[in-house]
Amino acid sequence: MNHQLKILLLLFLLLPMTALAQFSLGVRGGYNLTKVSLGTNDFKTNRYGFFVGPVAKITFPVVGLGVEAAALYDQRDARIGDDPVTDIKQKSVNFPLHLRYDIAPDSPFSLFVFAGPQFSFNLNDEKKPIDSAREWRFKKSTMSVNLGAGAAFFRNFQLSVNYNIVCGETATINSVRDVTDTVKDHKAKTHAWQLALTVFF
């Protein structure tokens, strides 16, 4: 069987599923609980934040599979240092793309799980002074992974929780000097628990 025939057969098999696909638009908002880590035991803190933006969903009710994509304004807060304490606000636009699986998607109440990558673009100034010896530097963009689960009510409302795991660093903190007066860089990561409410129209 040649490749063209295989592709046509695959499209033929997917056609009934595509006809049953449901497309929905909505809005999502929620709460961030952010943990900042610099790869040491220092400067770790849990702080709150929020996110909001539009979301689109395609579901295949027969098999329970679906895809979600969103564009979210995201703000995460952190506190760096002990004395003095510096407040850091991370502002970004996030684009999560999730593959989800719904259990009993046609019922008034259903459960689902989801996972997928998220691409984030920094809206902050790249540099922020912490004190006379240290400076916080944001990366222009980051990639992370979301793992989560939730519940859907009457198809139009869903409540979900997920953990956002940053791949690589979100920022670096510079000019931390040791006894030899050399400069050390610490990689900062801002993982977050996220609680979201989504309303589909």
Contact 166, 191 (CB under 8 A): yes
Q: How many CB atoms lie within 10 A of CB 8?
A: 11
- pLDDT tens digits, 43-86: 556 678 899 999 999 887 667 888 999 999 999 887 766 666 67
Structure tokens at 119: 């691409």
Q: How many CB atoms lie within 10 A of CB 41?
A: 7
Q: What pLDDT is recorded for position 179? A: 43
* pLDDT at 181 exceeding the cut of 70: no
Beta bridge partners of 72: 94
- pLDDT tens digits, 87-139: 778 889 999 999 999 887 778 898 999 999 999 999 987 666 666 667 777 88
* pLDDT at 42 exceeding the cut of 60: no
Q: What pLDDT is recorded for position 187? A: 77
**Helix intervals (H) in the chain:** 3-20
Average pLDDT over residues 25-30: 96
Percent of the chain at pLDDT > 70 equals 71
Average pLDDT over residues 149-156: 90
Q: What pLDDT is recorded for position 82? A: 61
Contact 50, 70 (CB under 8 A): no
Q: What pLDDT is recorded for position 95? A: 96
Structure tokens at 165: 């795991």
Q: Give dist(CA 118, CA 120) in Å, integer.
A: 6
Of 95, 52, 106, residue with least CA distance to 71: 95
Within 13 A of 151's CA, how many CA atoms are on the CB side?
A: 3
* pLDDT at 32 exceeding the cut of 50: yes
Q: How many CB atoms lie within 10 A of CB 144?
A: 21
Helix (H, G, I), strand (E, B) or coil at 57: strand
Average pLDDT over residues 30-53: 77
Residues 6+ apart with CB under 8 A from 196: 28, 29, 30, 31, 51, 150, 159, 160, 161, 162
